[in-house]
């Protein structure tokens, strides 16, 4: 399935990057990482295959199969045998797998119409779920009755797939060139921040909408001139939607929750900044839907946390992360006891000197000394630290392709995508050390 980029992408790393891949011999099917002692297996057969963005579900509700995108379409991976089987061949973009039915959803373009389709993972029967004219579908709710998406409400405003303003080839090629106040060229990272801010300050009118998968009815649930993005329905509450305000993270209030079953409901902010240059983002729901977790930095690039917000109570937990273990994306295990991180190269926000690893992260709470509690301790942030265990050496990986780690439903493996052997492939690493 060739990647078709439609409207605003869910996140900058959702689609495979457009840099050339060097020809390479077929990567090994299985090996023991000599630096970590963990077993790594290749799940995909075709170069250019990809697993989903870190917070999207790619697994069947029963946890027996994983769906991946291939150059020809979608394929399933039997998680017990690792047998790969084609599922559908159609030119479109893989969206997600349902949490209730054994359906994989994808989107195609038919003329000027966007068409969301679902393929049954067992029978391979394809059905049309919804049709709409403009925008981008980013999420599906827990019982698969609502699709969620975003759209720029002024058709005359052209945007790139990553949501940036579309102006010329320089921007289409994601070369974010810009100069600073002194007239000198900025680094790639700083130039990108300039372009993000330019897009944010354009105050382009946008809407978040839902489409009823049973009737095809489309309704708007929120409208704003904020840059709306990164929609995620709760994995357990069919009417709870999380979204972000996109833009420079140190400037925007990024994390928000909204109830879609309450007309006129106001978004609820999840995190409030307490210092200049504090950033929070790359948020996701815990598997039980009770907690929102996110990457928190106080300030940006200096002090790193995996932070949690308990939805029902508003209680918070922060687990400190060492610089080298900071990751482009974090994730949590199905039982909520562990975290994962996909590392990052030295050019990224943490500027980690040794950060190109996949990590299994063990959270450890910091208890009160001698059991003596502060009078208001139950209302304070619960602190902790992350003990990070290296799983895979990613030194040969080009982080323009973000690995996007996620746990298998049984909690025994971590799936990721990588170009460590040249072409993009889907891999998995076993959490237990090889015997």
Domain definitions of the chain by residue range: 27-50+286-413+420-434
Kindly list the strands in the beta sheet with 73-78, ordered across the sheet, starting from the edge strand earlier in the chain: 65-70, 73-78, 84-88
155: its two tokens: 């058709």
Listed residue (293, 277, 295) closest to 285, CA to CA: 293
CA distance 254 to 270: 8
Q: Distance between CA atoms of 254 and 269, rounded to whole angstroms? A: 8
Q: What is the 3-state secondary structure (H, E, C) of 175-197?
A: CCCCECCCCCECCHHHHHHHHHH
For residue 198, the surrounding DSSP H or E stretch is helix 188-201
Q: Which residue carries 């995909």 as its tokens? A: 44
Rounded distance between C-alpha atoms, residue 212 and residue 49, angstroms:
31
Q: Show pLDDT as tens, one digit a residue, over the chain (435 residues).
A: 433 322 333 333 333 333 334 455 789 999 999 999 999 999 999 999 999 999 999 999 999 999 999 999 999 999 999 999 999 999 999 999 999 999 999 999 999 999 999 999 999 999 999 999 999 999 999 999 999 999 999 877 767 666 666 654 433 445 567 888 888 888 777 888 888 899 899 999 999 999 999 999 999 999 999 999 999 999 999 999 999 999 999 999 999 999 999 998 999 999 999 999 999 999 999 999 999 999 999 999 999 999 999 999 999 999 999 999 999 999 999 999 999 999 999 989 999 999 999 999 999 999 999 989 999 999 999 999 999 999 999 999 999 999 999 999 999 999 999 999 999 999 999 999 998
User: Is the entire prediction scored with pTM above 0.85?
Assistant: yes
Quick one: which of 287, 283, 311 has its CA closest to 295? 283
Find tokens 């709760």 and name the residue. 234
Q: Which residues contact 372 (CB under 8 A, 6 or more apart)?
A: none
C-alpha to C-alpha distances, 258 to 239, 266, 269, 305, 339, nearest whole angstrom: 8, 7, 9, 25, 26
Contacts of 425 (CB under 8 A, 6+ apart): 27, 42, 43, 44, 47, 49, 417, 418, 419
């Amino acid at each position: 399935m060739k990647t078709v980029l439609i409207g605003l992408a869910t996140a900058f790393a959702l689609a495979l990057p457009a840099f050339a891949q060097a020809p390479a011999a077929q990567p090994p099917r299985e090996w023991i990482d000599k630096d970590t002692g963990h077993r790594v297996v290749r799940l995909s057969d075709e170069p250019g295959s990809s697993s989903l963005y870190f917070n999207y579900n790619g697994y069947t509700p029963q946890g027996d199969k994983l769906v991946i995108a291939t150059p020809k379409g979608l394929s399933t991976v039997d998680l017990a045998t690792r047998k790969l089987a084609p599922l559908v061949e159609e030119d479109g973009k893989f969206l997600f797998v349902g949490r209730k039915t054994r359906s994989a959803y994808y989107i195609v373009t038919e003329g000027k119409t966007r068409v969301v389709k679902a393929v049954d993972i067992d029978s391979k029967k394809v059905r049309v779920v919804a049709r709409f004219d403009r925008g981008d579908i980013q999420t599906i709710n827990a019982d698969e009755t609502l699709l969620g998406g975003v759209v720029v409400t002024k058709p005359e405003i052209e945007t790139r797939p990553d949501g940036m303003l579309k102006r010329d080839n320089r921007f289409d090629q994601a070369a974010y060139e810009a100069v600073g106040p002194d007239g000198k060229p900025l680094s790639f990272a700083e130039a990108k921040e300039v372009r993000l801010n330019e897009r944010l300050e354009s105050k382009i009118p946008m809407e978040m909408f839902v489409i009823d998968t049973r009737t095809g009815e489309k309704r708007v649930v929120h409208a704003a001139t904020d840059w709306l993005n990164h929609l995620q329905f709760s994995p357990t509450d069919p009417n709870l939607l999380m979204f972000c305000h996109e833009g420079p993270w140190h400037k925007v209030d990024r994390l928000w929750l909204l109830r879609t079953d309450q007309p006129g409901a106001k978004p609820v902010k999840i995190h409030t900044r307490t210092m200049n240059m504090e950033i929070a983002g790359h948020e996701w729901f815990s598997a039980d839907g009770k907690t929102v977790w996110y990457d928190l930095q106080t300030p940006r690039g200096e002090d790193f946390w995996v932070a949690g917000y308990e939805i029902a109570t508003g209680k918070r937990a922060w687990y400190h992360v060492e610089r080298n273990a900071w990751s482009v994306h974090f994730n949590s295990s199905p039982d909520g006891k562990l975290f994962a991180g996909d590392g990052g190269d030295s050019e990224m926000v943490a500027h980690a000197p040794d950060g190109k690893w996949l990590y299994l992260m063990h959270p450890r709470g910091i208890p009160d000394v001698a059991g003596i509690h502060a009078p208001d301790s139950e209302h304070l942030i619960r602190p902790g630290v992350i003990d990070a265990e290296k799983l895979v050496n990613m030194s040969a990986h080009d982080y323009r392709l973000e690995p996007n780690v996620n746990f298998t439903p049984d909690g025994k493996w971590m799936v990721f995508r990588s170009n460590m052997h040249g072409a993009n492939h889907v891999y998995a690493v076993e959490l237990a050390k090889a015997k």
